[in-house]
Amino acid sequence: WKNFRKSVAVIGAGPAGLAAADILAQAGLRVVVCDREPAAGGLLTFGIPAFKLEKELVLRRRRMLSRMGVEFRFGTEVGRDASAAKLLEEADALFIASGAEKPVSPGIPGEEAKGVEQAKTYLAASAFRMLPEEIQKHAKAPRASAEVRGKRVVVIGSGDTAMDCLRAAIREGAASALAIARKPETQIRAIPSEVLAAREEGAKLLFEAIPQRICTDDSGSVEALEIRHAPSGEIRKIPADLILLACGFRTEPHPWISALGVRFTDKGRIEAENTRTNVPGIYAGGDAVRGAALAAEAVADGRTAAEAILSDLGLREELHHAR
In a domain, 273, yes or no: yes
Q: What is the pLDDT of residue 316?
A: 73
Helix, strand or coil, per DSSP, at residue 220: coil
| pTM of the entire predicted model | 0.84
Do 97 and 207 lie in one domain? The reply is no
Q: What is the pLDDT of residue 139?
A: 58
Name the stretches of the chain with pLDDT < 70: 1-4, 130-132, 134-145, 317-323
Of 245, 273, 308, the last residue of a domain is: 245
Do 109 and 200 lie in one domain? The reply is yes
In a domain, 284, yes or no: yes
Q: Distances from the Cα of 168 to the Cαs of 34, 126, 201, 298, in angstroms?
A: 30, 8, 10, 24
Do 297 and 222 lie in one domain? The reply is no
Do 96 and 219 lie in one domain? The reply is no
Angle between helices 15-26 and 55-67 (to 10 degrees): 30
Angle between helices 119-128 and 160-171 (to 10 degrees): 50
- The tens digit of pLDDT for each residue in 201-258 reads 999 999 999 999 999 999 999 999 999 999 999 999 999 999 999 998 888 889 999 9
Q: What is the pLDDT of residue 1?
A: 38
Number of domains in the chain: 2
Q: Comparing C-alpha atoms, which of 102, 101, 96, 100 is closest to residue 285?
A: 96
In a domain, 2, yes or no: no
Q: What is the pLDDT of residue 59?
A: 87
Query: Are the CB atoms for 297 and 277 separated by under 8 Å?
Result: no
Pairing of strands 152-156, 176-180: parallel
In a domain, 1, yes or no: no
Do 31 and 93 lie in one domain? The reply is yes
Do 14 and 59 lie in one domain? The reply is yes
Do 53 and 94 lie in one domain? The reply is yes
Do 201 and 302 lie in one domain? The reply is no
Do 237 and 266 lie in one domain? The reply is no
Domain span at 155 = 105-245
Query: Are the CB atoms for 306 and 20 separated by under 8 Å?
Result: yes
Do 19 and 90 lie in one domain? The reply is yes
Do 231 and 254 lie in one domain? The reply is no
Here the CATH number for the domain that contains residue 82 is 3.50.50.60
Helix, strand or coil, per DSSP, at residue 215: strand
Sign of CA dihedral 78, 84, 90, 94: positive
Do 172 and 287 lie in one domain? The reply is no
In a domain, 298, yes or no: yes
